[in-house]
Amino acid sequence: CLASAAASPTVEQITEEDAERDAELDRKVALVRSVGEECQTEPELRRLIDKKPDFVLYDGFEPSGRMHIAQGIYKTINVNKCTNAGGTFIFWVADWFALMNDKMGGDIDKIQTVGKYLIEVWKA
């Protein structure tokens, strides 16, 4: 009984741990919030990151030509913010949407080539 009492954390330790955990959660929520214009339900976002620290984010794009340098840099900054908050980022190459929207003249082979090019640019 004495051994378990000695190993129990004090109220001060629990309070400090809670404060550190809350500060880390605040940091992660702020990182994810910084990549968007608005957040419909910030309390829900906070709960999600708190309960599921290995959350997944998705981003789809239509391959339509060369990437502008600002597009590549901006995407990298935002992806890094989200992964630093604990997220895993998945990119969807929306090649069929590009085909429906007549990107690259409606040539699916060209669209897929551009999609592969964009993936390589983001990897770099």
Handedness of CA 49, 54, 55, 57 (dihedral sign): positive
CA–CA separation, 74 vs 95, rounded Å? Answer: 21
pLDDT tops 90 at residue 73: no
Q: Identify which of 86, 93, 113 has the alpha carbon closest to the alpha carbon of residue 29.
A: 86
Q: How confident is the model at residue 96 (pLDDT cuts 50, 70, 90)?
A: very high
Which amino acid is present at 31? Answer: L
> 27-51 pLDDT, tens per residue?
999 999 999 888 888 999 999 999 9
Q: Is the pLDDT of residue 17 over 70?
A: yes
Residue 91 DSSP label? E
pLDDT of residue 7: 62
CA–CA separation, 98 and 101 (whole Å):
5
| DSSP class of 88 | E
